[in-house]
Amino acid sequence: MTGTSSGLGKELAYIHARRGGSLILVARRQDLLEALARELQDTYGTTVYIISKDLSKETAPEEIYAEVQAKGLQVDYLINNAGLGGQGAFAERSMEIDMNLIAVNIISLTKMTKLFLPDFLKRKSGRILNVSSTAALMPGPLQAVYYASKAYVTSLSNAIWQEIQGSGVTMTLLMPGGMDTGFAAASGLQNTSLAKQMVFSPREIAEPTYAAMLRGQMELIEKLNFIQKLSFKLLPFLPKKLIMKQIYNMQQST
Task: Please report, for the chain, how many H helices and E strands are present, in that order.
Answer: 10, 6
Backbone angles phi, psi at 86, to 5 degrees: 155, 135
Contact 70, 51 (CB under 8 A): no
For residues 112 and 240, give the distance between their C-alpha atoms in angstroms, rounded to a whole number. Answer: 33
| Integer Cα distance of 87 and 251 in angstroms | 8
Contact call for residues 116 and 162 (beta carbons, < 8 A):
no
CA distances from 237 to 48, 230, 231, 232, 240 (A): 48, 12, 10, 10, 9
Q: How many residues does the chain have?
A: 254
Active-site choice (49, 65, 77, 146)? 146
Q: Indicate the DSSP class of residue 108.
A: I
Q: Which amino acid is at 111?
A: K
146 labelled catalytic = yes
Active site residues: 146
